[in-house]
Structure 1
């Protein structure tokens, strides 16, 4: 099987598409104004929205679910999420978190990107497929869910060996959206960062060498290297 990974968006908020001979799997769904950007990226890869077989969500925060419902409603594309975050994604529950340290410039850049890309027009998913820890989905790339609670109760790492990648959602960041600081660290707006760090230990022995946070550039290295980098920061 041939496979490629498309990064769509920017280091503030990105969508990833796993493109294989069998079709396309989206990892997270960005913001509500991102459909045109996705369509253009797929066209450049010789694909279209009709090639998308499923959407996989790392968690249920609004900056990860943006175009999921539109793709489901208009194209019949199923949306998959760990069951513990189903209520967060649909808006039946909310998170209560503290932002922590922040700087004006990075915060304004994050807010501008969010507004420009439709962050205030989020369509919450009306139908979700709730999955469980350890499930490997019958989608292009065979994405595997690994529960990593902490940022949210139902946060998950998504493992896609065919593109040598782990997608960690907001468990970590490599560029802090509130301070602009680079380097791997636990992400802000988390329910329990201590639990996140414990959860990430489940990934230590995985061989994938490309790690993608929800915000910030790719971390090149294995999960073990990432965990060492997080601990060195403490």
Structure 2
């Protein structure tokens, strides 16, 4: 199974498939699963758990940075088939349940399909069942306090990519899980390194920039994005690089 699983901080494992990543926060026998890949990544998600000696039954909760198909993919499977609670920020509930979806439109993508990288990426995400994602039948919400879950992650509201996007801070482990508030690599990015996702992916570009400032004030030794490898360094350094990239765009 083509998934690369690496420990990027104590008990924090980033699992990277071809186009997206998720995170396993291991504490004893239990796991907090942060995001779940595309629908077509389900066997990879299960394989990533097996690579750290765990199974779906060991997942205490799924917490979502946001509810785009490449992060929501297997959340409903865990909720209904495994009995795992799924949590999102309160402002992400409409997106997670499908009552108000915030994501790039097919028309916007088709307008760019003349670009070879976009055409190849779109072919890949169709194969990963992006258009057939199961929205959540029900979902729980989290507050800003540390969650009573493995790793005790602290949600940090970082709107912009979506209204209810959240990062998760693990100060005891020196890690900051940033979802799509910041990335280090993407099939549609021309260069690697810390940066915002291409603007057409963000619901509110100004809010996305403001959320970078929120991240910069946190302390961590490694940032773990939803796209690209982990960034070894402080949030301030990663944000400075992302702002510099935005100024060149």
- Common fold, TM-score beyond 0.5? yes
Q: 1:226 to 1:101 in 2, by over 3 A?
A: farther
Equivalent pairs, count: 232
- Identify the residue that residue 105 of structure 1 maps to in structure 2: 116
Alpha-carbon distance, 1:140 to partner: 0.4
TM-score normalized by structure 1? 0.89
Write out aligned runs for 1:42-53 (5 A).
42-53=49-60
Which of 105, 124, 142 is matched with 1:131 structurally?
Answer: 142
Report SS of the residue matched to 1:185: coil
- Identify the residue that residue 202 of structure 2 maps to in structure 1: 190
Write out aligned runs for 1:41-80 (5 A).
41-80=48-87
Write out aligned runs for 1:28-43 (5 A).
28-43=35-50
Q: 1:139 to 1:218 in 2, by over 3 A?
A: same
Write out aligned runs for 1:161-172 (5 A).
161-172=171-182
When you count strand as a share of all residues, which structure comes out higher? Answer: 1
On the 8 A contact 1:57/1:65 being kept in 2, the answer is yes
Q: What is the root-mean-square deviation in Å for CA atoms of aligned residues?
A: 2.3
User: Structure 2: which 5+ runs fail to align?
Assistant: 1-8
Q: 1:167 to 1:76 in 2, by over 3 A?
A: same
Write out aligned runs for 1:1-234 (5 A).
3-10=10-17, 12-95=19-102, 104-132=115-143, 134-188=144-198, 189-233=201-245, 234=247
Once the two structures are superposed, residues 36-90 of structure 1 have per-residue CA deviations (whole angstroms, 9 ceiling, x without a partner) of 1122222222211111000110112121100000011011100110010100111
Q: 1:91 to 1:70 in 2, by over 3 A?
A: same
Q: 1:127 to 1:226 in 2, by over 3 A?
A: same
On the 8 A contact 1:107/1:179 being kept in 2, the answer is no
Once the two structures are superposed, residues 95-126 of structure 1 have per-residue CA deviations (whole angstroms, 9 ceiling, x without a partner) of 26566978733323432332333323211111
Alpha-carbon distance, 1:206 to partner: 2.0
